[in-house]
Amino acid sequence: MLKTSKSITLSGQSYISGTQVANYSANINSDSGSSNINSSVINQDIYDANKKEVRQDLADFTTAVYEVEDQMDSETTTTDSTKAAE
Protein backbone atom coordinates (compact mmCIF):
# COMPACT_ATOMS: atom_id res chain seq x y z
CA MET A 1 0.00 0.00 0.00
CA LEU A 2 1.32 3.39 -0.99
CA LYS A 3 0.95 6.26 1.42
CA THR A 4 2.07 9.70 0.37
CA SER A 5 2.43 12.90 2.31
CA LYS A 6 2.99 16.51 1.45
CA SER A 7 5.61 18.68 3.07
CA ILE A 8 6.90 22.18 2.64
CA THR A 9 10.61 22.94 2.79
CA LEU A 10 11.96 26.38 3.63
CA SER A 11 15.57 27.44 3.44
CA GLY A 12 17.46 30.57 4.37
CA GLN A 13 20.96 31.92 4.62
CA SER A 14 22.53 34.51 6.88
CA TYR A 15 24.99 36.92 5.27
CA ILE A 16 27.31 39.44 6.90
CA SER A 17 28.98 41.92 4.54
CA GLY A 18 28.28 39.67 1.57
CA THR A 19 29.73 36.53 3.18
CA GLN A 20 27.48 33.61 4.01
CA VAL A 21 27.71 32.80 7.71
CA ALA A 22 24.90 30.31 8.36
CA ASN A 23 22.32 28.08 6.66
CA TYR A 24 18.79 27.44 7.90
CA SER A 25 16.32 24.82 6.74
CA ALA A 26 12.90 23.67 7.84
CA ASN A 27 10.59 20.88 6.79
CA ILE A 28 6.89 21.12 7.66
CA ASN A 29 4.75 18.01 7.24
CA SER A 30 1.27 19.01 6.09
CA ASP A 31 -0.32 15.78 7.36
CA SER A 32 0.87 15.98 10.95
CA GLY A 33 1.74 19.68 11.14
CA SER A 34 5.07 18.80 12.69
CA SER A 35 8.14 20.78 11.74
CA ASN A 36 11.88 20.43 12.01
CA ILE A 37 14.17 23.48 11.98
CA ASN A 38 17.93 23.11 11.43
CA SER A 39 20.73 25.65 11.46
CA SER A 40 24.42 25.34 10.73
CA VAL A 41 27.26 27.82 10.97
CA ILE A 42 29.39 28.02 7.82
CA ASN A 43 31.93 30.64 8.93
CA GLN A 44 32.66 30.40 12.66
CA ASP A 45 34.92 33.48 12.83
CA ILE A 46 32.33 35.81 11.29
CA TYR A 47 29.60 34.18 13.38
CA ASP A 48 31.57 34.78 16.58
CA ALA A 49 32.05 38.45 15.66
CA ASN A 50 28.37 38.92 14.68
CA LYS A 51 26.38 36.58 16.93
CA LYS A 52 23.63 39.11 17.58
CA GLU A 53 22.88 39.64 13.88
CA VAL A 54 23.10 35.96 12.95
CA ARG A 55 20.91 34.94 15.87
CA GLN A 56 18.36 37.55 14.80
CA ASP A 57 18.38 36.00 11.32
CA LEU A 58 17.65 32.61 12.91
CA ALA A 59 14.82 34.14 14.95
CA ASP A 60 13.39 35.74 11.79
CA PHE A 61 13.64 32.40 9.96
CA THR A 62 11.87 30.62 12.81
CA THR A 63 9.10 33.22 12.70
CA ALA A 64 8.71 32.60 8.95
CA VAL A 65 8.38 28.86 9.63
CA TYR A 66 5.72 29.53 12.28
CA GLU A 67 3.81 31.70 9.81
CA VAL A 68 3.73 28.85 7.28
CA GLU A 69 2.63 26.42 10.03
CA ASP A 70 -0.19 28.79 11.02
CA GLN A 71 -1.24 29.22 7.40
CA MET A 72 -1.36 25.45 6.96
CA ASP A 73 -3.41 25.11 10.17
CA SER A 74 -5.83 27.72 8.88
CA GLU A 75 -6.18 25.94 5.53
CA THR A 76 -6.76 22.60 7.30
CA THR A 77 -9.43 24.14 9.53
CA THR A 78 -11.16 25.67 6.50
CA THR A 79 -11.04 22.36 4.62
CA ASP A 80 -12.34 20.45 7.64
CA SER A 81 -15.20 22.93 8.08
CA THR A 82 -16.13 22.64 4.40
CA LYS A 83 -16.16 18.83 4.57
CA ALA A 84 -18.30 18.89 7.72
CA ALA A 85 -20.86 21.15 6.00
CA GLU A 86 -21.25 18.72 3.11
pTM of the model: 0.80
pLDDT digit string, tens, across residues 22-79: 999 999 988 877 899 999 999 999 999 999 999 999 999 999 999 999 888 777 665 5
Please name the residue ranges forming H helices in 2-50: 44-49
82: left (phi over 0), alpha (psi -120 to 50) or beta: alpha
